[in-house]
Amino acid sequence: MQSESGLLRWLNVPFVYNAFSAAVGANALRRRLIQNHVGAKPGDKVIDVGCGSALALQWLPDVQYIGLDINPDCIAFARRTYGSKGTFVVGDARSVRADPRFNDADIVMAIGTLHHLDDEDAAQCIQFAYDVLKTGGRFVSHDACWVPAQGALSRYIMSADRGRNIRTEQQYRQLAAKVFREVDTWVDTKPMRIPYVTVVVECEK
């Protein structure tokens, strides 16, 4: 579930979202995440759940990329921008479950996705990741995260996020641990130019 009220609905427009991401430092954060946590190697099969306009391709090596998003405008933008560099699919973890193109992935990533999903849909997303990964494959997510004694400005900004399901580190960990046996988390209290807190969840099949 996400909020589409007021000015927030403009973030559904790919070039508006991309410009906003660059302004607040989210693109630099995404680059660090891909380099430090996703760690894809050339030739890996990478599934990007909630890919948006597939910005991740800017920082990934030459991989077999499949981007999945429910927003057809974002997928159309990704196809125009990146063309043959990936496969771009409109849908979600439920709708593509039987699609063989997603099988045998080395990495499934969900950057800024889980906090837009309620617990049931988030569990479906994580289960999908587990099911399509090879043995030894990894699932990496990155989301807004509540922390104890969080600053008032940070809490205010995060409360205006389109995602209506921001969780604590422990809550994200518990969701992942229902599916994966190996789960690690990292919290970053200064990830961007604006007051914000994020968590990386990394799991191995």
In the predicted structure, residue 145 carries a pLDDT above the cut 50: yes
pLDDT grade for 205, boundaries at 50, 70 and 90: very high
Half-sphere exposure of 33 (CA within 13 A, CB side): 30
pLDDT grade for 19, boundaries at 50, 70 and 90: low
pLDDT at 192: 81
Q: What is the pLDDT of residues 90-123, one digit of tens each?
A: 999 999 999 999 999 999 999 999 999 999 999 9
Q: Helix H segments across the chain?
A: 14-24, 26-33, 72-82, 119-132, 152-159, 169-177
pLDDT at 20: 52
In the predicted structure, residue 85 carries a pLDDT above the cut 90: yes
Phi and psi torsions of 116, nearest 5°? -95, -5
- Global pTM reads 0.89
